[in-house]
Chain A
Amino acid sequence: MWSLLNIELLKIFRRPRTYIAFGAIAAIVFLVQLALKFDGKSYVDLLLGNLNGSFEFPDEFKHKLLNGYLICFIILTALLIQMPLLVALIAGDSIAGEANMGTLRLSLTKPVSRTEYLMLKFLASVIYTIILLTWMALLALFGSMLIFGTNDMVVLRSTGIDQIPASDVLWRYLAAFGYAAVALTTVAALAFLLSVFAENSIGPIIATMSIVVVFTILSEMNISFYDDTIKPWLFTTHMVAWKGFFYVKATEDGVTIPGSIANLPAILKSLVILFGYIATFVFAAVWVFRKKDILS
């Protein structure tokens, strides 16, 4: 099993196109860091703009605000929209790419069951997703910590701001990246399912992105009936729940409670829904693939 997984990883990581995603992430992270290094004050003013009516923020506060933790939060918010495309590039190619190259038929004449083959492919896509996310974490979190230093982290919410002590931030990022891994695995599972139907990887990649974009728009729409019925079940609604790790509880005096999470049950519910989607997509892929005639 391990040797077969190794083969799938070799196939992914020996392809030059795999590194496009790593390059794209490095470029985006670097550009955001560069922009905030030179014009961070404008961004902070913009960020606090809505609150200016009720609060007065001293310059020292604004300066402390722009630290590595906040920069990473900004990068994560921006990049987690692009990441599904980078994940779909590999997951959408996993079966359709093999069919397109003609290697699928040769692989399936080997003594490996179709279910086993598919699960290995999916596992390899998940490992790629985790490695990509780790790369992003290294650059966005540790890179920003190096460039901008660390301090208390301030997160803007519709109800106000949460200030998290510096010592209480790192584990939240660890949890957020773990959650993002599940969210992106959902996208990988969708691309994987679509890949089973195709003999050319462009179709599943474009279809995955189209679904993610349409569902994201649907997740952002506010219609009363729809808010209670359809929206809570869209996977895109739950993909952004990682932010919940940065929303904290406070005492009656408004002091942040270290180690607290404002709404942990909501995060766990989102996690369960995403796992449900992953299981459904993978199960459907296996079911279709086991019945499929390989004519490529």
Chain B
Amino acid sequence: MSAIIQVKNLVKDFREIKAVDDLSFEVPEGLVYGFLGQNGAGKSTTIRMLLTLVKPTDGEIRIFGADLKKNRKEILRHVGAIIERPDLYKYLSGIENLRIFATMSGVRVTKKKLMDELDRVGLADRASSKVKTYSQGMKQRLGIATALIHDPKLIILDEPTNGLDPLGIADIRNLILHLSKDLHKTVFISSHLLSEMELIADAMLIIDKGKKVVEGNAHELFDPAKTMVQLKTTDDAAAYGKLETSELKNVLHEKRNDSIILKLHRDEIPALIKKLVQMDIGLISFDSRHSLEDYFFSLTTGQQHVESFKH
């Protein structure tokens, strides 16, 4: 599978702040590639560099095998993007906005083509309404139509579900899956929600403070054998002692200040619950999540649980 995006040793400094620090990754063709990180991790800066909005301090970006700096116009002809909010011309109608961005994308479009595109995102009946009368979800859908009107090979979406209600989020998710699975587009999507990425991404990259911390395909990263269970008990020290001397000692991972962490296969969880009850451990709470989720949570909360995932 050839790489659609190749990023090598990318660096971006904003005076004394290093927003992106020696970042390298490759996005294979035809996949939904999740780009994760907490707010301020450097996701938007990286995406802006991929779209030539921000100039890299150092490093190289190749898209479709060509150097982005030297082939900007030709590359952007085949890229569709939404960066953060779908800001559009509020005083113009939906169809006028779509015509503007279609023309800027270098495609001559008929009214029928514009209406078909609006129909695809469910806005055909509001085509002539001014965008200022649209809901946030409608604006997002129109933003997606502007990104897709020129039939791009690569779609770059920066936090496309921000500010949407659950129904809107589901809409975007389905659209992304449709673009990837049915239309074979490559989708590069950033998010700070791991759970959202888990549902759609074929591969993902997590960055923190501008650096790559985890990269891989979704099957590996969400391996059910790496499920973390967090126990809170009435007496953690006593419970830990009991677990250490039991057959559960092999899955015992670590003791934290206010909880005990076990690492096991997701299928083993029912047996674990049964065993804990049998051992008469005073459980206050039982929380299971994937180790990647635990790791990502540690990044967003600033806790240093990095080793939990790495091991």
Interchain CB contact under 8 A, B105 and A110: yes
Q: Of A9-17, A46-54, A84-92, A236-244, which binds chain B?
A: A9-17
Interchain CB contact under 8 A, A3 and B89: no
User: Given A105-B83, A106-B83, A110-B76, A10 and B100 touching (CB < 8 A)?
Assistant: yes
Interchain CB contact under 8 A, A109 and B76: yes
Interchain CB contact under 8 A, B81 and A109: yes
Interchain CB contact under 8 A, A102 and B81: no
Contact partners of B55 in chain A: CB under 8 A:
291, 293
Query: With the chains together, A264 CA to B186 CA distance in Å?
Result: 64
Query: With the chains together, A291 CA to B57 CA distance in Å?
Result: 12
Interchain CB contact under 8 A, B54 and A107: no
Contact partners of B88 in chain A: CB under 8 A:
103, 106
Contact partners of A101 in chain B: CB under 8 A:
87, 89-90
Interchain CB contact under 8 A, A111 and B74: yes
Name B40-93 residues within 8 Å CB distance of A.
48, 51-55, 72-74, 76-77, 79, 81-85, 87-92
Interchain CB contact under 8 A, B92 and A106: no
Contact partners of A7 in chain B: CB under 8 A:
99-100, 103-104
Interchain CB contact under 8 A, A109 and B89: no
B201-238 vs A: 1/0 string, CB under 8 Å? Answer: 00000000000000000000000000000000000000
What is the total of A-B residue contacts with beta carbons within 8 Å? 82
Contact partners of B90 in chain A: CB under 8 A:
101
A1-24 vs B: 1/0 string, CB under 8 Å? Answer: 001101100110011100000000
A262 CB–B CB distance under 8 Å: no
Contact partners of B84 in chain A: CB under 8 A:
102
Contact partners of A109 in chain B: CB under 8 A:
51-53, 76, 79, 81, 83
Interchain CB contact under 8 A, B103 and A3: yes
A230 CB–B CB distance under 8 Å: no
Contact partners of B85 in chain A: CB under 8 A:
102
Query: With the chains together, A101 CA to B82 CA distance in Å?
Result: 14
Nearest-Cβ distance from residue A201 to partner chain B, whole angstroms: 14
Interchain CB contact under 8 A, B48 and A110: no
Nearest-Cβ distance from residue B42 to partner chain A, whole angstroms: 13
Nearest-Cβ distance from residue A33 to partner chain B, whole angstroms: 33
Chain A residue at minimum C-beta to C-beta distance from B49: A293
Interchain CB contact under 8 A, B92 and A14: yes
Nearest-Cβ distance from residue B36 to partner chain A, whole angstroms: 21
Point out the residue from B82, B92, B104, B143 that lies within 8 Å of A107, measured CB to CB: B104
Contact partners of A294 in chain B: CB under 8 A:
48, 53-54
A210 CB–B CB distance under 8 Å: no
Contact partners of A105 in chain B: CB under 8 A:
48, 53, 83, 87
Point out the residue from A14, A111, A112 that lies within 8 Å of B91, measured CB to CB: A14
Contact partners of B51 in chain A: CB under 8 A:
108-109
Query: With the chains together, A139 CA to B239 CA distance in Å?
Result: 91
B241 CB–A CB distance under 8 Å: no
Interchain CB contact under 8 A, B73 and A113: yes
Contact partners of A4 in chain B: CB under 8 A:
103-104
Chain A residue at minimum C-beta to C-beta distance from B106: A111
B101 CB–A CB distance under 8 Å: yes
Nearest-Cβ distance from residue A9 to partner chain B, whole angstroms: 11
User: Given A102-B85, A105-B83, A16 and B91 touching (CB < 8 A)?
Assistant: yes
Nearest-Cβ distance from residue B10 to partner chain A, whole angstroms: 14
Name B97-115 residues within 8 Å CB distance of A.
99-101, 103-106, 108
Interchain CB contact under 8 A, B76 and A111: yes
Query: With the chains together, A108 CA to B104 CA distance in Å?
Result: 9
Contact partners of A102 in chain B: CB under 8 A:
84-85, 87
Query: With the chains together, A107 CA to B79 CA distance in Å?
Result: 13
List B residues at the A interface (Cβ < 8 Å). Answer: 14, 48, 51-55, 72-74, 76-77, 79, 81-85, 87-92, 96, 99-101, 103-106, 108, 143, 146
List 11 additional contacts besides A7-B104, A293-B53; criterion CB under 8 Å.
A7-B99, A7-B100, A11-B92, A14-B91, A105-B87, A110-B101, A110-B105, A111-B72, A111-B73, A111-B76, A112-B73
List A residues at the B interface (Cβ < 8 Å). Answer: 3-4, 6-7, 10-11, 14-16, 101-103, 105-113, 291, 293-295
Q: Which 10 A-B pairs have the closest CB atoms?
A: A102-B87, A110-B104, A294-B53, A111-B76, A293-B54, A111-B77, A111-B73, A109-B51, A109-B81, A3-B103
